[in-house]
Amino acid sequence: MSRPQTIADGWWVSLLWCEDGGRVVEFRAFSPTPEPPPGSPLLRLGPALAGTLSGLIAEDGGRQQLRLRLGQPPVQEAKPWEAPLTVLAAFRFEPTRAATMRENELAQTVLEAFRAAILRLAG
């Protein structure tokens, strides 16, 4: 995880990735089937991450304030599961909940949620 930054409108932004032996792995390593499912892996990772952080992420109009984008696009657009498992993540946290946590606790919570969400990709 890169050092988080807070940008305009209170969005908390960080680059998250998964590595093994010092190398970034591909999303494909966590595919639930030998042939990855259709669509972007973010379609599975986003809800898993949002669910894990439920209650900590702010809501606006009934929508959780969480945005994910691939940190690096796949070489072939038609094969998004072959992209490196890097994600640019942005969150707006519930102010009351976030105020009770130190920055390192908030970062640790996000990192643990990201790990759990990655493991749920395969299931």
Tens-digit pLDDT profile for residues 12-23? 999 999 999 999
Tens-digit pLDDT profile for residues 70-112? 999 998 999 999 999 999 999 999 999 989 999 999 999 999 9
pLDDT of 34: 87
**Which own/partner contact pairs does 63-67 have at CB distance under 8 Å and 24+ positions apart?**
65/11, 65/91, 65/92, 66/90, 66/91, 67/11, 67/91
pLDDT of 59: 93
116: helix, coil or strand?
A: helix
Burial class (CB in 10 A: 0-12, 13-18, 19+), 109: middle
pLDDT of 123 > 80? The answer is no
Q: What residues does each domain of the chain span?
A: 5-121
Tell me the DSSP string of 24-88: EPBGGGG-SSSSPPSS-THHHHHHHHHHHTTTTB-EETTEE-EEEEESS--SSTT-GGGSBSEEE
pLDDT of 57: 95
pLDDT of 4: 94
pLDDT of 37: 86
d(CA 116, CA 111): 9
Tens-digit pLDDT profile for residues 40-71? 999 999 999 999 999 999 999 989 999 999 99
- pTM of the full structure: 0.91
